Every structure is written in structure tokens, then in C-alpha cells.
């Protein structure tokens, strides 16, 4: 399981005031923000998306063109998606809308605290006016990557008392201890799995009496078993896989020429047989 990371933050970018000619008035309000998806716990190797946007407010009837270059840094290093430039001719359809927006994604494989900040630099050109510069840096935001690991334990089995005497059905409680700890339910129960008890005398008439007139009450008993198989990290979770081995009977039909005569449809040579291996999976969460 690769464990995957979640971040949530916003920031305010201070931009320079723009002096505009009397023929057109454009106000650029310094409110660029960045946010992270998904929110919540960030798991190792989880893909994270940072969205950034700057909002521009126009006076009625104005229009302008903008060209803003963004650089975003993770742990002080320029992310490989940058620099990136937005150059958008804008018309005055509405008075306030986002410009110079975008997003980028990355995954963090190092457990611990990390930092992200972005810079914006460019210019805005209003209609009837000259280009004015815009620049600023967001505040630095920290986020924490937590490794999602855990241990699943198998509890004592419970037996289904309603099964015929010749069969056993067991189920097991599965409990997990996760790191970081999870405050919700951390237990699940397997379905019923089949074994045999070694005594066919109460199962059905044709399995009761063997070909020699005795009881089929001595095949080896075998309970179903469960063992841990693997675990796979996900987005703040771990999926545990288990192997469950079930058992059944196989037998030979009595030879009708056997002396003494066998009972109708009697069987002999009863054997324990393995069923196909079952692989139940259970997912447990980290750190919520």
C-alpha cells in the first residue's frame, strides 16, 4: 500500500496598487489564494493538488489584459510545473472574476513537516492605460505527511451452532491498530467459512452408513483456518488481505457388487478436500 497525503490551506498575496489613467479605471484587489485537495490526512505517496487563483475587480465598462507568472515552491525547491504564465485578454462581462489561475499536483514520500509557498509577478494593462506591475508572495504554509501503517490481529473464532453435525462454520473478528491512530471503529468480522467435524452420521442418509454397513464417523476433522497474507497502503488507509482455507468432503460411491450389499447410494473412502483459497480484504483508516 502506498500510503497517499491530504493538505488544506489558504493564503493572501499582497499586490502593488495600480495607478491608472483617467480614461479607464481598473482595480486589482490583492487576494490570490491557494488551496489543497484532498483535505484531511496526507498519506505517504498520495497525490495532492494545489489550486491557485487571483481575483481582479473591474470598474463598469473597463477591460484589460493580464500576464502573470507564478512560481510555487515545495520545501524551498521550485516545483517542476513552474514557472507558468497566464496571459488572458479579459472583457468587462462581469466586474469581479478570477484571473491568473491554475493548479499543479505532486506527491510527497517523506514523512514529516513540509512547506509550500507561491510567488506571482506580472502586469495588467487596462484599456486606455499603460501596463502596471503586479507582484507578491504568499505566506508560507506547512503540512504534515504521516505514514499510515498498522497491524491487524485475528481474534478467537466464533462457531455457528446451526450447522449440521458434520460441518463446522467459523468466523473471526479482525481488529487493527493504526498509526496514526484512528478514532472510529477498527474492527470487522469475516463471513462464515466451512470446515468439517469428521462425523458424517448426522449429515444425510447416504453418508451415514459405509459400504460395509458401518458408520462414516471417522474421517479426520478439519477447521477452516485464516492467516494474514499482505497489506497495501492507500490514501490514509491500509488494506489487509487474509487467506482463508475451507474444507469439504469427497468420497467414492459404493460398488453395488460389494458383499455384503451396501445400502442404496452408500459411500466409502471419505476424504477431506480443500476448497479454493478465499482472500477476504479489510480496510482500516489512519489518523481521523
Q: Does the predicted TM-score (pTM) go above 0.85?
A: no
pLDDT at 100: 64
Dist CA 235 CA 39 (whole Å): 11
Domain co-membership, 112 together with 236: no
In this structure, the answer to whether residues 169 and 42 fall within a common structural domain is: no
Domain boundary among 146, 175, 198: 146
Strands, E assignment, 108-218: 112-126, 132-137, 141-146, 149-154, 158-159, 167-171, 173-179, 187-189, 193-196
What pLDDT score does 188 carry? Answer: 94
What is the CATH classification number for the domain harbouring 65?
2.60.40.10
pLDDT tens-place string over residues 178-209: 888 888 888 999 999 999 888 777 666 567 77
Give yes or no: residues 65 and 156 share one domain.
Answer: no
Does the residue 8 lie in any domain?
A: no
Is 41 in the same domain as 130?
Answer: yes
d(CA 239, CA 242): 10
Both 248 and 219 in one domain: the answer is: yes
Cα dihedral 82, 86, 87, 91, rounded to 10, equals 180
Q: Quick one: 154 and 281 in the same domain?
A: yes
What does the pLDDT read at residue 233?
Answer: 78
Residues of the chain with pLDDT under 50: 1-24, 28-30, 93-94, 97
Residue 1 lies in a domain: no
Those residues whose C-beta lies under 8 Å from the C-beta of residue 161, and which sit 6 or more positions away, are none
Q: Is residue 12 part of a domain?
A: no
Tally of structural domains, the chain: 2
DSSP 264: T
154 with 273, same domain: the answer is: yes
Q: What is the pLDDT of residue 63?
A: 65
96, 121, 146: which is the final residue of a domain? Answer: 146
Question: Is-contact 98 58, C-beta < 8 A?
Answer: no
Within-domain flag for 45: yes
Residue 160 sits in the same domain as residue 271: yes
Domain-embedded: residue 11: no
Among residues 194, 208, 225, 193, which one has the least CA distance to residue 270?
208
Same domain? 172 vs 127: no
Same domain, 114 and 32: yes
Q: Round to whole Å and give the CA distance between 151 and 181.
A: 11
Q: Which of 106, 128, 146 is the last residue of a domain?
A: 146
Q: How far is CA 266 from CA 100, 167, 198, 207, 253, in A?
A: 83, 19, 17, 6, 6
Can you give the pLDDT at residue 24? 45
Say whether both 188 and 175 belong to one domain.
yes
Range of the domain at 39: 26-146
27-58 tens-digit pLDDT: 544 456 777 776 666 777 777 888 887 766 65
User: Is 15 among the domain residues?
Assistant: no
Q: Do 67 and 133 share a structural domain?
A: yes
Amino acid at each position: 500500500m502506498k500510503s497517499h497525503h491530504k493538505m488544506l490551506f489558504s493564503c493572501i498575496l499582497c499586490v502593488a496598487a495600480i495607478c491608472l489613467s483617467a480614461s479607464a479605471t481598473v482595480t486589482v484587489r490583492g487576494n490570490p489564494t491557494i488551496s489543497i485537495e484532498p483535505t484531511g490526512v496526507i498519506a505517504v505517496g498520495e497525490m495532492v493538488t494545489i489550486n491557485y487563483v487571483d481575483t481582479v475587480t473591474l470598474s463598469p465598462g473597463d477591460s484589460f489584459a493580464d500576464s502573470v507568472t507564478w512560481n510555487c515552491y515545495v520545501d524551498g525547491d521550485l516545483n517542476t510545473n513552474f514557472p507558468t504564465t497566464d496571459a488572458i485578454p479579459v472583457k468587462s462581462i462581469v466586474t469581479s472574476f478570477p484571473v491568473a489561475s491554475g493548479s499543479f499536483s505532486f506527491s510527497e514520500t517523506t514523512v514529516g513537516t513540509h512547506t509550500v509557498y507561491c510567488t506571482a509577478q506580472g502586469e495588467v494593462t487596462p484599456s486606455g492605460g499603460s501596463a502596471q506591475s503586479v507582484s507578491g508572495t504568499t505566506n508560507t504554509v506547512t503540512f504534515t505527511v504521516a505514514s499510515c501503517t498498522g497491524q491487524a490481529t485475528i481474534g478467537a473464532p466464533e462457531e455457528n451452532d446451526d450447522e449440521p453435525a458434520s460441518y463446522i462454520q467459523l468466523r473471526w473478528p479482525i481488529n487493527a491498530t493504526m498509526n496514526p491512530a484512528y478514532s472510529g471503529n477498527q474492527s470487522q468480522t469475516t463471513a462464515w467459512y466451512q470446515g468439517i467435524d469428521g462425523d458424517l452420521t448426522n449429515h444425510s442418509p447416504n453418508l451415514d452408513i459405509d459400504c460395509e454397513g458401518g458408520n462414516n464417523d471417522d474421517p479426520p476433522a478439519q477447521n477452516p483456518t485464516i492467516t494474514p497474507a499482505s497489506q497495501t497502503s492507500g490514501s490514509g488507509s491500509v488494506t489487509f488481505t487474509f487467506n482463508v482455507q475451507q474444507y469439504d468432503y469427497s468420497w467414492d460411491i459404493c460398488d453395488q457388487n460389494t458383499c455384503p450389499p451396501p445400502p442404496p447410494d452408500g459411500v466409502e473412502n471419505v476424504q477431506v478436500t480443500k476448497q479454493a483459497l478465499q482472500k477476504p480484504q479489510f480496510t482500516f483508516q489512519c489518523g481521523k
